[in-house]
Amino acid sequence: MEKPKQLRRALTDSVPLLQRNPDGLNMFIDGGRIASTLASSLSFEYQYQLNLVITDYGDDIDLIMVPLLAWLRENQPDIMATEEKRRTGFTFKVDVLSDTLCDISIDLQLTERVIVKQEGDVLHVTHAGESPLPDNVQRPAQLYAGGELVSGLQL
């Protein structure tokens, strides 16, 4: 599975606190399953819930949510496509530890398509990317909070 690694990289590159403390981001895959059919190919889809836990977070939660939404728009756009997906595809909980610290748990419903092609007696496995965004969507390059540049977005 590729998306957890890609998302970890995007968040640690974009979130200042995670740049300083990458070990504050933990990831768990829950409820994973394989969707496959009896088609002639062995192609399949991973379907799973990715749980991100950010511990001892002391910055503005928007500094996590905005880069995460930008990553989802590129890598799991169906989460934003329907009312059902918007309601269930991206959920979160926050445990307030003190006036300045909290733990954040985020659940994302992710999928990854895997294409398996047979050439003779050899199988070739590749991960299929998401369909590209429409051309009129401009991808952000920087994140400002309170009028100050917080980070560059690495998506």
* Residue 106 pLDDT grade (very low, low, confident, very high; cuts 50, 70, 90): very high
User: DSSP letter string over 83-139?
Assistant: HHHHHHSEEEEEEE-SSS-EEEEEEEEEEEEEEEEEETTEEEEEEEPPPPPPTTPPP
The domain tally of the chain equals 1
* Residue 134 pLDDT grade (very low, low, confident, very high; cuts 50, 70, 90): low
Domain that holds residue 62: 3-152
Residue 115 scores a pLDDT above 80? yes
C-alpha gyration radius of the chain: 18
The residue-averaged pLDDT of 72-77 equals 92
